[in-house]
Structure 1
Amino acid sequence: MRSARFLGMVSVLTIGAALAAPASALTIKLIDQGGVNGTAAQRGFGIAARYWESVITSDAAVRFDVSFESLGAGILGSTGSTLFTYVPISTYKSLLSGSANSALDAKALANFAPLSPTGGVTVTVPDYFEPKAQDGVSATGSRIAPDDTAIANTIALSSANVKALVGGFGDVVDGEIAFSSDFNFDFDPRDGITAGSYDFIGVAIHEMGHALGFLSGAQDFDYSVGGGFPVDEFWWGYSADLFRYSAPGVLDWTFGTDSYFSIDGGVTVFDDGYF
């Protein structure tokens, strides 16, 4: 289960005030919150962190608090992310432009979804649970998010994303990753995973990916099916969702839809990146 801490609305000014000298590359600092140091879990978390450091070239110093303790009956683990919420999509695009330093970055920016005069994107989202009241999230059907609303004009960014875009924010805790010591884990996948055990390193890599910002509003919509809330007044998308397509030119945040990551406006799938 994922959870999040919210740091509130971000603007160009508040982000700019936090600018600091960037690190030399992605570095992940692991802080033991209980049960990790001196165990196989310490090595497993370390290998997972080194993996992400080897594949992400952004300059950022990221902190994850980790633990390996009993979490209660039936709970395998949990991951929490620190999020900046209600970030205007236009602000995110500006920050992305300011940090672009590769041909892939340039291509993604050149094909960024067009913004409306209010700064929103045209995106397909799940239908209303109560169409007349424009309320809630339906398990079936879809619609276009209305312009000049939070759902179409804002997103959330992980603090790790923000650090990569602008630097700064010091020792902010970017993620909390807890694994239960009550379950059987295999800490060395080189000879296969022991029957009845979980692949600790593989799961740790996956969970660190979420904490780094590999998130999607489609999952949040799926978790939120039902009525009783003004769905358009909330942010739903994350940074990756601005490159989530179901067809050329069709941004799509619905769940249960064949969607893919694309940096050319949905014309091609980038690196076999299906959601």
Structure 2
Amino acid sequence: MPTALITGASGGIGAAFAVELAKRQHNLILVARSEAKMQQLAAQLQQEFKVLVEIIVQDLTAPGATTAVFDAVVQKGWTVDLLVNNAGFGDYGAFADRPLAKQVEIIQLNIVALVELSHLFLSGMRERRSGSIINVASIAAFQPMPYLSIYAATKAFVLSFSEALWAENKDLGIRVLAVCAGPTESDFFTAAEFPPGLASSSGQKLVSADEVVRDALKALDKKQSNVVTGGFLNKIIVNMPRFMPRQLLVNSVAKLFMSKG
């Protein structure tokens, strides 16, 4: 039975990955800060799908966090067949107005922890000539986003990094996928401190985390390098930078995301 390690597994897309992979008879290693939520999810999945679920309580922005996770996996004798780098967050507002420490923390979680975990677990996959990595990016990866500047920039990194890893490892039997999700039902907008009503001002419908996960796993099965989830509108959005002058595009995004309050 294969084993999947999922970061940010206590809710949203991470928890949806846990449920869907348990259905597919994967043992699970769940990583997040919230022990209570993970314990509840682990108990549910073990009872319903008869899989093994282990939890690692870890803040991935802490110094040495990724090494601690990797060492825990090694000490338990687990082999990670699928790594899902899902943990991440954003912060709404003009960059100069937001706390610098929080911006650095976003980079630490969205980029540094993802890179470190990918490197730590990819070595074993290359030795076995098998394995998969799913990195959760965003449709924000395809263009600059005023008022979400650091978040969008980190997701652009995730997309570029993931596609490069896909090319480097596809001939070794290793699949790498960047999941570029659009607005999804989760606590993202609350955690990012979006102004009330702004998250839905674009008229885009929030898709379920379950739908994102199903689309991601279909793309992984097809050995794609990336997938844009959430329907046709999101595919239009990610292709707009190809046809619009960049200044016009960024100005349009700025107007869309500027707080009216």
Normalised by the length of structure 1, the TM-score is 0.25
Instruction: Say which structure is richer in strand.
Output: 1
Instruction: Say which structure is richer in helix.
Output: 2
Q: 1 or 2 for the larger relative contact order (CA 8 Å, sep ≥6)?
A: 1
Normalised by the length of structure 2, the TM-score is 0.26
